[in-house]
Amino acid sequence: MERMLGKTQLEDLETHDCHVEGCEEQCMFGILMCPHHWAMVPDDIVQRAKRHLAAYAVDGQRGSLRRWQRAACAAIDAVNAKTSG
């Protein structure tokens, strides 16, 4: 299930709920999920997300942002799959 995290959705918020289903832990803007859930993300997805976010910070290109968004969604989906029981 792919979804895009819209920049305008998140820009106006100082904090938000963790993106994992059912988690209400507050995260600072720019943080995808709470530390408990982030620790559950597979290492390959963590590295991919970090790499694409760093690339976007350097080049500001839409392609880098989209690759980060896909990695972020993969991270959320991976944790949701682990926690859905």
Cα maximum dimension of the chain? 40
- 78: tokens are 């991976």
* Chain centre distance of CA 10: 11
The answer to whether residue 16 sits within a structural domain is yes
For each of the chain's 85 residues, which pLDDT tens digit applies? 445 555 555 455 588 899 999 999 999 888 899 999 999 999 999 999 999 989 988 988 888 889 999 999 999 999 999 998 6
The answer to whether residue 2 sits within a structural domain is no
SS3 17: strand
Global confidence as pTM: 0.77
Q: How many domains does the chain have?
A: 1
Question: In terms of residue numbers, what domain contains 51?
Answer: 7-83
Residue 30's region, left for phi above 0, alpha for psi from -120 to 50, else beta, is left
The answer to whether residue 18 sits within a structural domain is yes
Q: Give the mean pLDDT of the chain.
A: 86
